[in-house]
Structure formats: C-alpha cells, structure tokens
Structure 1
C-alpha cells in the first residue's frame, strides 16, 4: 500500500532501527552495552550463568575479531591486507560475506556490488578525504563482482587494483555472530543491536514481542530516537535500515554526495527513496538487501518488492509536497504496531 504522511522536522541519528524495549531487564534477563564497530551495541537476553560484565566482555572480544577481519578502516585488518595485495588468504568471515554478496548481487542485477571500495574511497567514505574530482570512468574498470573470486581459500583478483568493501554487510553479519554468542550462552529470548541493526528471538522481559522503532529520514537527523516514524514488533530474525540522510556531504557544486554508490555509474545512488527497512531471517541478509534496494532507487526497488510476495520491506519516500510517502509490503504489514 502507498500511504502519504507529513511529519514535522525534529532533530535525530544514523540510518537505523531503534530497540524500544520499554522496561529494564528483569526475570533473568541481563543487559550489556558498549561500543562495537565504531558505534554502540546493546544486548538484552535471558542468558544463563553469565553476568552483564561477562556478556559485555564477550561482545568486545567479538568486536576485536570482526574488526581484525572485515574493517576497511584498520590498516592491518585482513580485508585491508587483501585490498593492498599483502595477502591472498581469506578467513571464514570474509568467505561468508562474499558468498552473501554474490547472492544479493545476483538478485540486484549487479546493483549491489562489494567491489565498490575504490569508488567509496574516491568519494570520501572510506576513511580519507574525497578526491577533488574523482575519475569515475577510470575507477569503474576495477569494479565488478566478476573481477574477484575465492579459490582454495585464496582471493583471486582479475586486477590487483580490485578492492572489497563489506560495510554493507559486515555490521549485520556481526549482529548475527553476537546473536549466536548469546544463544550459546543459553539464551532463548534476546535482542541484539549494533548501530541500529537488530537480531532478536522470543519475547522481551515483559513477555511481549520486541518493539523496534524506525527513525524519520531527514538530512541532518543525528539524535538517535528523537523522531520515530514507525514502530514494529518482532519475535525472531534480523532487521536493518539503510538511508542516505546521515552519511553524506554537499560538494563544491552544491550537489549532495551520499555514501551509497551505484556501481553502474560510479556515483551516489540518490532518488526519492530515503529509507529502507528490511526484515529477513538474518541481519546480514537484511543489511545487504537494504543497501541493494537503496542503490536501485525508488522505481526499481518498488517494482522488485511488488513482484516478491515474501519481501518484508518498509520504504519511506520523499513526497512532491515535501512530506513523506510510505510503502509497506504485504508481508511486512503484520510487523507494524502503528
């Protein structure tokens, strides 16, 4: 259904869903929070025989493992060394993310592509300043999933200048790893959240479904939780929200440059599609699919989800009058609270 809604502009934080549990943990639930992957994390779970401090310490060990493998911002991470051709050996994390990227890339017809690292870097979203005038046509020669593969545990590149960027899947994948950690600790009910991306199971401490807010997507929205557009309820699976309203800048020519790059054009994927929230069996899938839909743009994304009866998506789009339009897929409607 397409529904038009207008909202006042209030300040807000990252393209994210917000866990709104509504109460302090009790009845055997333990809560831990801190910093992971350069953002915040929170876990609420009925773990057995584990204190909040132990849960936090376990999460921080996982953070170190994930960053050492998949970060493009740390020079000595495995991914950075692969990108710089200092090694060709991959680990289980990188192999998993590349397989998932292949699957989502095939769905998207190549719009979702993790070889966009040289473009992301040139536009200033990979830990360094943007090029004054990125030579997009030159860089595109080294972009394309067909230019890299894994053989016998080793990364094979068609050109040494091919580089990978897992920022569209690594956070969701780490959420799944953290969820697996709390399940191994005996949790049957939990909500795991890293930077607004979520994996949950069972019920909250009050015995009801986990409640999650989706933020309003306006430029400069940087105060988490100040403006919630919709609330959802979940009892299992992953949820991720993607948007171009936080990680962006305005170039010298006055044009907006956002972090989601279309690998077909080498430029920002900007359309009236402002925010994409996806529910999927895993958070890694939800994370990658959200980026895929955002990169497709409004028209192509709407066409795809309308043809997929199982797609669980919630789109927020810019309306001609300056307000918002919403699209909620039929499979997603059961998750909406308001």
Structure 2
C-alpha cells in the first residue's frame, strides 16, 4: 500500500546567518543524513549555531531498530518472522493510529498489507509473476491484528505488518518533539519527504515546501515544481505513483499503491496527494489512504476531516493535468 516516493522538497534560504523581517539576526543550523532507507533533512533557526547531529542520529537509529523493514534485525522484522511478539512504544503508537485510520477509511488504509506489497515486489523482495491474490487476502485485514498488553496478537502467524505508510511521518513528529523539548520554536524536520515544521524560516515567514510535478521521469526533487506550500505548526506528506512502478509480463502497469480490499494495484487518475494535517503521522497515513481511494472518494472523505487539507493532482479524460485543493489548502499556497 505504500505509495510514497515522496515529492516534497524544501525551499529555504541557504544562508548560515541572516535577519528575518523583524531585523533580528538568526542562524540556520542544518542536519542531513540517511535513515529508514531514505534521507532526512532538518533545519533549526536560532540566535546561535546549534549542534544536534549526534543526538538526531542516535534518535533515528533507535527508530530504525524498531520499525525499519530494510533492517532484517529490526523489531518489526522480527515480529513479522514471529521471533517475538513484544512491541515497543514506536510500533504500539503507529499501530494504534493506523487502526483508527483503517476504521475511518473502511479498511482502505491497512498496515497488514505487506503480503501483497511483497508479492508485487514493493517490500524489498522479488515480485511474484502471478500472485495468488485470493490466498494473500486471507492474511490481510486490520481487524485480524491487535496490540494487547504490549504484545502483537495475530489471527494468523503468517500475517505481516508494513508501517512504511506511517513510520516516516511518525519519525518526523518524534524528532520534532525532541527539538521542542530543547526549547527551539523555529524548525523544520523532514524524513523521507514527511515533514513537520514549527515557527518561521530565515525570512520570518512560514517554511516553504515545494511539491514536485507528478510526471513520470521526474526523479529529481525540486526540478519541476507543481506548487509551493507555506507550512508552520503542522505536518505534510505527499503520496504518488508516478515514480515507482513497473510493467509486468502481460503489460499491466503495477503501481506502488495496493488496494488492501481487492488485493490489486490501484488503477486511478489520481497522480499525487499532498496532505497537511495536525501531525506528520496523520499526513503520512492519509496521503496513502487518498491514493487508494482515488479522486472522487478522496474529495468526499476530505469533507469529513475538518483538520486536514489536501492538494490533489490528477489527469482528466484527455490526459491533461488538473488539480483540486481543499479551501484550507488554497490558503496555504505560496504564490
């Protein structure tokens, strides 16, 4: 179900020391690296240079040891192999949030989808030429798993969990919470494209995030922007199918978004969904859910979420780009 080869790129002033619109001197400290099979980028604005690189790397290593599917020895990997049933706080919180969103979406968002994503080759494994979807669907269903007294309970031991559609957003929120605890009020955290920001950038304005135009072949973040969003005090994530797909031996385009109810790759004219929500965790998960829903169901679903905004890019019947934005998202667009 994970669909996010994320399209968000960060746009901020590249100076080390500068003045915001009030004339006060500010210093931007940046931290970059690799985590969860992707990259992270963090900017902290203060009146002085700050050194947080080692602490951030340590926190991210802890998250990797918990929820990474790229690490065969992570707790999540061991849970999927039934080597343990004990969960930690990271996994418990993500499972709790994921279940709530699964219920909201009628099961269109579901972190038990890993048997399907593995079969289609989107979970670090070789694709199966003709997966037996009916058999795999027996191992999918959010109601078949639960966390009880710190332990993961599965209806079938063959069931597996894929938290890729929520873990990076949760990681951004986790790092943001750490920065909050240090007393900083102006920063931006991005992990794998999932973002949480607070306060203002070097210009004293909301942080600006560029959303890439969702066209095949647009592999360089920032090269072709669709829109720029001003973000402060909220989370943002973008999901899309246009960067990760393949064509199978029968000519079908197999995209990264898998419908957990049908077991099939989603066929839709919705190209990307950018979500702004109270947390990056929610933005991350809702972005994936919208890609499963498609355009019209997404519009209807968004009307039920007063604290969530979205910017949807889709193709019309002639294959031309069209966009839809919720009223609150329109107000965030930087023109």
Confirm or deny that 1:295 pairs with 2:292: yes
Asked whether the equivalents of residues 48 and 185 of structure 1 are also in contact (C-alpha less than 8 Å), the reply is no
Name the CA distance, whole Å, in 1 between partners of 2:92 and 2:48: 33
Confirm or deny that 1:18 pairs with 2:9: yes
Distance change >3 Å, CA 49–CA 24, structure 1 → 2: closer
Please, which runs of 5 or more residues in structure 2 have no aligned partner? Answer: 18-25
Name the CA distance, whole Å, in 2 between partners of 1:46 and 1:311: 26
- Aligned match of 1:224: 221
1:186 CA drift (Å) = 2.2
Number of paired residues? 324
Structure 2 residue matching 1:176: 3-state secondary structure: helix
TM-score normalised by length of structure 2:
0.93
Name the CA distance, whole Å, in 2 between partners of 1:309 and 1:97: 22
TM-score normalised by length of structure 1:
0.92
Asked whether the equivalents of residues 34 and 56 of structure 1 are also in contact (C-alpha less than 8 Å), the reply is no
Distance change >3 Å, CA 104–CA 25, structure 1 → 2: farther
- Find 1:181's aligned residue among 161, 175, 178: 178
Moved more, 323-332 or 27-36: 27-36
RMSD, aligned CA:
1.6
1:14 CA drift (Å) = 3.2
1:309 CA drift (Å) = 4.6
Name the CA distance, whole Å, in 2 between partners of 1:172 and 1:327: 23
Structure 2 residue matching 1:94: 3-state secondary structure: helix
Confirm or deny that 1:147 pairs with 2:160: no
1:47 CA drift (Å) = 5.4
Confirm or deny that 1:246 pairs with 2:257: no
Residues 175-209 of structure 1 show CA distances to partners (whole Å, capped at 9, x for unaligned) of: 11111122222211001112222100000112111
Name the CA distance, whole Å, in 1 between partners of 2:61 and 2:53: 13
Confirm or deny that 1:46 pairs with 2:45: yes
Confirm or deny that 1:336 pairs with 2:327: no
1:124 CA drift (Å) = 0.4
Asked whether the equivalents of residues 14 and 224 of structure 1 are also in contact (C-alpha less than 8 Å), the reply is no
- Aligned match of 1:125: 122
Name the CA distance, whole Å, in 2 between partners of 1:79 and 1:141: 21
Name the CA distance, whole Å, in 1 between partners of 2:110 and 2:209: 29
- Aligned match of 1:161: 158
Asked whether the equivalents of residues 45 and 201 of structure 2 are also in contact (C-alpha less than 8 Å), the reply is no
1:283 CA drift (Å) = 0.3
- Aligned match of 1:93: 90
Name the CA distance, whole Å, in 1 between partners of 2:243 and 2:106: 26
Distance change >3 Å, CA 83–CA 17, structure 1 → 2: same
Name the CA distance, whole Å, in 2 between partners of 1:322 and 1:139: 33
Asked whether the equivalents of residues 15 and 217 of structure 1 are also in contact (C-alpha less than 8 Å), the reply is no
Name the CA distance, whole Å, in 1 between partners of 2:155 and 2:304: 35
Name the CA distance, whole Å, in 1 between partners of 2:149 and 2:321: 49
Structure 2 residue matching 1:269: 3-state secondary structure: coil
1:48 CA drift (Å) = 7.7
- Aligned match of 2:275: 278
Asked whether the equivalents of residues 28 and 49 of structure 2 are also in contact (C-alpha less than 8 Å), the reply is no
Residues 98-121 of structure 1 show CA distances to partners (whole Å, capped at 9, x for unaligned) of: 011011111101100000011110
- Aligned match of 1:3: none
Name the CA distance, whole Å, in 1 between partners of 2:141 and 2:180: 37
